[in-house]
Amino acid sequence: MGSYEYEFKNEHKELKLIEELSKSMRFVSLFLTVLGWLSVLGSLLTGWLDEDLMGAFTPSLPGVAIILIAMWTNNAAKYFNNIIKDEGSDIKNLMQAFKSIRNLYRIKLLLWSLPAIYIILSILSILWSWLLSWVASRLS
């Protein structure tokens, strides 16, 4: 008995839905790529004009993150598009698309977690400073 590979079918409009998703993801990917590169180039240009290229490194990080998000979005779009073009490997392509989307959400989680951690640490630092000054005022 041979192995069976599920194939998405046109009669259920499955392929049309996957194609529309792929096209939308490619558009978003292109937009994010342009936005990311403009951000990186703007940061570097600002650093160059201010004669502080090392100072341009940190402001260019969001642009790099946007480019990474665009890459994984584009990879997922390619795999979704392969479902439409290739026969016999729909599930394999679908799983590869899911892996790209997983990576996309991992970087988003990281990008959202870092500011939250920074805010929490800042609040704790302020509270610790306040507590130390309060204790010092009570001791004197």
Confidence of residue 4 (pLDDT cuts 50, 70, 90): low
Does residue 113 sit within a domain?
Answer: no
Does residue 43 sit within a domain?
Answer: yes
Does residue 88 sit within a domain?
Answer: yes
- Residues counted in the chain: 140
Q: Is 138 helix (H, G, I), strand (E, B) or coil?
A: helix
Is-contact 59 43, C-beta < 8 A? yes
Number of domains comprising the chain: 1
Q: What is the pTM of this model?
A: 0.73
Q: How buried is residue 22: exposed, middle or buried, by Cβ count under 10 Å (0-12/13-18/19+)?
A: buried
Does residue 18 sit within a domain?
Answer: yes
Q: Is 128 helix (H, G, I), strand (E, B) or coil?
A: helix
Structure tokens, 80: 């979704």
Does residue 54 sit within a domain?
Answer: yes
For 80-98, write each residue's pLDDT tens digit. Answer: 999 988 888 888 999 999 9
For 27-68, write each residue's pLDDT tens digit. Answer: 999 999 999 999 999 988 888 888 877 777 777 888 999 999
Cα dist. 91→7, 10, 87 in Å? 8, 16, 10
